Amino acid sequence: MIAAAFVLLSLAGFAFLYRLLIGPSVADRVVALDGLLMVVICGILVDVVDGTSVVSIDTVLVVSVVAFVGTGVLARLVERQGG
Amino acid sequence: MNVVDVIARAFVVFGCSLILLAGIGIVRFHHVLARMHAAAKAPTLGILSIALGVVLSVRTAAAAFTLLLVVMLQLVTSPVGSHLLGRAIYRKVEGSVDSIDELARDEGRVEP
């Protein structure tokens, strides 16, 4: 079941990466980057469930804060110079 | 692997499928606001479900507290970030996508 979770997460990661590469506007890329960081958070958590992880669970907190701050800053960028 | 572990893994797989749902939405939808709608809502419930699975699987107080913090942070910051980005998209990328524009009416830019 952990393997199935990793397969689902990697498909979602490719979907966000596709939108990040082709996205017509900067705003599309910001949305895709935020979603990609969600995939990273979920990947770390699934790795913790797997049991053999060397990554601490506190990393999730850091990635979550970085995702929020990045989205806020890039939204300001979109608002200032257009998408 | 006992029953609790199986339930925990089921929660994790459900959360991952919600993340995949957001990925499908962000590829398939046509407007940037519609794509943001897909990418802002589904991953919140997905992370909540995966965190529940991790707590059921690890079963320590420290992990439970950290993941409670993660989920609370996600529930607070996801609407705030989406609101910031949605306002920027409305002002700079594309305005109202249908004929009704409530924000222009509320700001007094057009007659109601």
Query: Are A35 and B67 within 8 A, CB to CB?
Result: no
How many CB pairs lie under 8 A apart between chains A and B? Answer: 162
Three-class DSSP category at B110: coil
Dihedrals phi, psi of A14, to nearest 5 degrees = -65, -35
Question: What is the end-to-end Cα distance of chain B in Å, rounded?
Answer: 63
Residues 6 or more apart from B34 whose CB is under 8 A from it?
B25
Q: Which of B8, B47, B89 sits opposite A41 (nearest CB)?
A: B47
For A13, counting Cβ atoms within 10 Å of its Cβ (0-12 exposed, 13-18 middle, 19+ buried), the class is: buried
For the ranges A10-14, A30-34, B38-42, B92-96, the lowest mean pLDDT is seen at B92-96
**B14, A8 contact by CB (below 8 A):** no
Stretch B87-98: mean pLDDT, rounded? Answer: 79
Please give the distance of CA A2 from its chain centroid, rounded to a whole number.
19
Q: What is the ipTM of this complex?
A: 0.89
Query: Are A38 and B15 within 8 A, CB to CB?
Result: no
Contacts of B22 in chain A (CB under 8 A): 12, 35, 38
Q: pLDDT band for position B94 (50/70/90)? A: confident
Q: pLDDT band for position B23 (50/70/90)? A: very high
Mean pLDDT of all residues belonging to chain B? 88
Stretch B67-95: mean pLDDT, rounded? Answer: 89
Give the largest Cα separation in chain A, rounded. 46
Domain boundaries of chain A, sorted by first residue: 2-81
Q: What local confidence, expressed as pLDDT, does residue B74 receive?
A: 92
Tens digit of each residue's pLDDT (9 = 90 or more) over A39-73? 999 999 999 988 777 777 889 999 999 999 999 99
Alpha-carbon distance A36 to A58, whole Å? 19
Distance from CA of B99 to the nearest CA of A (A): 22
Q: What local confidence, expressed as pLDDT, does residue A83 receive?
A: 62
Query: Are A60 and B66 within 8 A, CB to CB?
Result: yes
Q: What local confidence, expressed as pLDDT, does residue B31 receive?
A: 86
Query: Are B16 and A49 within 8 A, CB to CB?
Result: no
